[in-house]
Amino acid sequence: MRVRNITRAGPIAGQVKVASSFLGRLVGLMGRGHLEADAGLYLAPCNSIHMFFMRFAIDTIWLGKRTPEGSYPVLRLDRGLRPWFGLVPLVRGAEAVIELPTGVIERSATAVGDLLSLDPDPGAK
């Protein structure tokens, strides 16, 4: 899937995988050595994550409930969550989280309150 910041009219990530099963969300990015610059992982439903067994730092964008127009409001941003940091505190009202390489939040200028679109990858089957 592709993630775009509607508020700032810019891309966030173009190759975001989806983890919607319990096991997929539990494992998340564990065991991976890194994320490609344009990659990410979308976990839903999700209002808390852990960094146990992670081998690299990540940025996270926490999303609220889908608006009637189909976009998702940004509720919270975490920059550079360290590996083995532990549990990330519960994000009240969060419906999902996008895990991204560090620096993506800064490069995209994403801020709390922005609206994001989550679009299927047109090349995916």
d(CA 112, CA 84): 25
Angle (nearest 5°) at CA 67 between 125 and 81: 75
CA distance linking residue 34 with residue 36, whole number of Å: 7
Query: What size, in residues, is the chain?
Result: 125
Domain ranges of the chain: 2-119
Return the CATH number of 2-119, one of 3.30.930.10, 2.60.40.10, 3.40.50.300, 2.60.120.1140: 2.60.120.1140
User: Could you tell me the pTM of the whole model?
Assistant: 0.92
Q: Extract the tokens encoding 18.
A: 């989806």
Q: One digit per residue, pLDDT tens: the chain, 125 residues?
A: 999 999 999 999 999 999 888 877 877 787 778 899 999 999 999 999 989 888 999 999 999 999 999 999 999 999 999 998 888 889 999 999 999 999 999 999 999 999 999 998 766 55
Pairwise CA distance, residues 18 & 119, whole Å: 12
